Structure 1
Amino acid sequence: MKLRENSMKVSYYYIKDEIHGRPITETRHSDLSGLTEEYHPKRLSSKYAYVFIDIQIENEEKNIEQNEEALRLKELVDIPLDIIEEIITDQRPRADNYVDFLLILFKYLTIRSKTPNFELKEHQVGVLIRDNVVFSIHKPIKSLPIETVFRRFNKYPMKMAKGGITFLVTSYLDLIIDQMYHVLEYWTEMITNYELKTIKEPDESMLYDILKSRHYLLDLVKILQANREIINSILKSEIFSKEDVPPELDDHVRHLLDECDIVRDLLTQLTNMYYASDSAKLNATMKRLTFITSLLLVPSLIAGIFGMNFFTGQPYQMLIVVVIMVLIISILLIYFKRKDFL
């Protein structure tokens, strides 16, 4: 299998210099053809104070031994191939401490498509920290271009100069977490629209989206809880400086979990509203059928009585039949009333 020359995108971000204590940063984007020795991580780590390297991989080869991107990544990052496999395949979120590096597997959800076919997509990002270099390894993510990440870094240059690795990692993780706000915002908007639609005309596709949203919400809560555990565990690592960790990192996760509880309640209310509206619609249909039946009842009764055949010469036959009918109806009325059916 031949590897496409531009299949693996690599972006660099590093502090090049300082002027009056203010860091001057530089970014560079490349592909496989541009990975020269000058931009090898070992060279960059010895040359610059802090380096952030983002690597986007696209190869879908499942056999790790034949995945040329994985082999090239192993050479670039200098880690065992089995760890590369963990990063590029679906794994549970976690943080693992190795001898000379820290590996973080972070996950989040984004909106793949909206109504009428509402779907979310799960993303996995591997963050590897070694000395003064941070690697971000993931498949291409349209919702989080690397330029957005670099803009976040440049927004707080003094914090970056002071926090170093702690700032780079926590800012990046916080940016990933922020992506899930878009999902919750869409859910809130969807619920509002569906509430109005439920009152007017509920349909099965809407119920399908609601039930699917409840399933996705459970996945989102699991991911957030796992990510929160990761954040709490990595902050205990010696790599990070606790005083440079932004307090909003954990606050954002807790706020998202609180938002999930609100969305869960709204989805439950919306489900109940859908069934209530559907039941009201059924009741309206039954009401119309009952009205039509009532209109036809009297003519049917008259036609039934006067359409009966009796023996000739017995004038009281019809009266006897009517009395028996009234008697049966009276007995049933008394029975139902005693049973509280009326």
Structure 2
Amino acid sequence: MSTTDSDDRAVGVPGVPGVPPTRRPRPAGTSRWQPAPRDSATPVVDCAVYVDGQRQPEVSADDALQVATERDGFVWLGLHEPTQEELDHIAQRYELHPLAVEDAVEAHQRPKLENYDDALFMVLKTGRYVEHEHLTATSEVVDTGEVMVFLGQHYVITVRHGDHSGLKELRHRLEGQRDLLCLGPSAVLYAIADLVIDNFTDVATDVEEDVAELETSVFSPERTDDAARIYQLKRELLQLRRAVAPLEIPLTKLAERQIDVVPDEMRSYFRDVLDHALRVRDQVASMDELLSSILQAALARTSLSDNEDTRKISAWAAMIAVPTLITGVYGMNFQHMPELSWRWGYPGVLLLILVVCWFLYRGFKRNGWL
């Protein structure tokens, strides 16, 4: 799942002076959320006008809004990490609210939905599972990005941050669903939200495998130290939770409230996305609780292992104390000591040491100390 506008980055866009309209091909074997090379000349990834659910012939980014308004359609403008100056230029033409523009440039925003007069501004976190051969105490498991959506009567502008997202496939899929695009710009917002949640579902499923691996390791017969790995996975899971949980309120507003730029027909679509988001939220919460239990079990097992080691050391120390005591007494070299002149004194003392140590060993072994 992703939040970008194209993997085949438009190096040039009609209407942007000095930039030829060419495309860079998408590398083979890449995943559906892929880095798109940033063209330093323009932040525009793709720009298209849709009328009656169909994409119109290419128009420049400067003329797209006028064409869409005249034909009672809408323009979908995709941007990638625009600068303040670049977004200010677009904001003037589309009359975007300055507070929303500031949020779109700064990034690192919390998922939210803002209503500005006759326009909406929504922030969504995107997520990607980072593949790794073996989970370590420093493994990065979840990588997040952001996509901001400006929604008006005749436009939808997507601004993405992060290198792992792409909306090219989504755009192509939507262009094959004319009935959905006929519902206006909110159909694009629904499709993006649905893609984001579907991607989080995949991420949560992959993270579950890491949780299962940790659980198996903690309760395996082998002695392992998994506390650091569990803590790292909990931190990564917290990042996923911060991306998914805040979406409940924005999606609830879109599904239940009357909003001018969102037709009533779209509410059922947003309710479906909300249901999926709540499912992912509960899944993440369950994994977090399970990890807490696994961490407690790992710490308890470590403590138990330490106690076993302490008992073994104590048992061996007790057995070593017997010969130490006896030999220490006879090593004082006083002239008048019992049995110094006895012929069998030396072997008798050795036998006494062995007998006492054997009884101690049996006692400790019976009690589980050894």
Under a length normalisation based on structure 2, what TM-score does the superposition of the two structures give? 0.67
| Structure 1 partner of 2:212 | 192
- Structure 2 residues without counterparts, runs of 5 or longer: 1-37, 340-370
1:171 aligns with 2:186: no
1:306 aligns with 2:314: no
Once the two structures are superposed, residues 80-136 of structure 1 have per-residue CA deviations (whole angstroms, 9 ceiling, x without a partner) of 544311112133332222233221222344345754333334433221111132111
Change (3 A) 1:197 1:225: closer
Greater share of residues in strand: 1
Under a length normalisation based on structure 1, what TM-score does the superposition of the two structures give? 0.72
Greater share of residues in helix: 1
Change (3 A) 1:291 1:75: same
2:47 aligns with one of 12, 29, 32: 12
2:89 aligns with one of 63, 67, 72: 72
1:251 aligns with one of 275, 280, 290: 275
CA distance in 1, matches of 2:202, 2:305: 34
Change (3 A) 1:208 1:153: farther
CA distance in 2, matches of 1:172, 1:78: 22
Q: Secondary structure at the match of 1:138?
A: strand
Native 8 Å contact 1:181 1:256 kept in 2: yes
1:46 aligns with 2:67: no
Q: Which moved more, 1:132-141 or 1:217-226?
A: 217-226
| Structure 2 partner of 1:240 | 262
Once the two structures are superposed, residues 153-177 of structure 1 have per-residue CA deviations (whole angstroms, 9 ceiling, x without a partner) of 246443333x333322212112112
- Deviation, structure 1 residue 252: 0.7
Native 8 Å contact 1:57 1:69 kept in 2: no
- Deviation, structure 1 residue 58: 5.1
CA distance in 1, matches of 2:56, 2:217: 51
Q: Secondary structure at the match of 2:313?
A: helix
Q: Secondary structure at the match of 1:145?
A: coil
Change (3 A) 1:151 1:299: farther
| Structure 1 partner of 2:11 | none
Q: After TM superposition, list the pairs within 5 Å mapping 1:26-175 onto structure 2.
A: 35=60, 37-38=62-63, 40-47=64-71, 49-57=73-81, 59=83, 67-89=84-106, 90-111=108-129, 114=132, 115-116=135-136, 117-119=138-140, 120-142=142-164, 144-154=165-175, 156-161=177-182, 163-175=183-195
CA distance in 2, matches of 1:304, 1:190: 57
Change (3 A) 1:239 1:5: same
Once the two structures are superposed, residues 2-61 of structure 1 have per-residue CA deviations (whole angstroms, 9 ceiling, x without a partner) of x964341331354356xxxxx544697xxxxx94544x33323433624322211254xx
| Structure 2 partner of 1:202 | 224
Once the two structures are superposed, residues 299-319 of structure 1 have per-residue CA deviations (whole angstroms, 9 ceiling, x without a partner) of 22321333346574999xxxx
Once the two structures are superposed, residues 274-330 of structure 1 have per-residue CA deviations (whole angstroms, 9 ceiling, x without a partner) of 213323432443354345324423322321333346574999xxxxxxxxxxxxxxx
Native 8 Å contact 1:14 1:48 kept in 2: no
Larger RCO: 1 or 2 (CA < 8 Å, sep 6+):
2
CA RMSD of aligned residues (A): 3.2
| Structure 2 partner of 1:293 | 317
CA distance in 1, matches of 2:104, 2:338: 98
Q: Secondary structure at the match of 1:217?
A: helix
Native 8 Å contact 2:144 2:162 kept in 1: no
Amino acid in the other structure paired with 2:306: L
- Deviation, structure 1 residue 244: 2.9
Native 8 Å contact 1:221 1:257 kept in 2: yes
Native 8 Å contact 1:128 1:135 kept in 2: yes
| Structure 1 partner of 2:35 | none
Native 8 Å contact 1:73 1:84 kept in 2: no
Native 8 Å contact 1:202 1:277 kept in 2: no
Amino acid in the other structure paired with 1:70: L
CA distance in 2, matches of 1:293, 1:314: 27
CA distance in 1, matches of 2:48, 2:223: 53
Amino acid in the other structure paired with 2:263: S
- Deviation, structure 1 residue 222: 4.1
Native 8 Å contact 2:204 2:284 kept in 1: yes
Change (3 A) 1:41 1:112: farther
Give the length in aligned residue pairs: 291
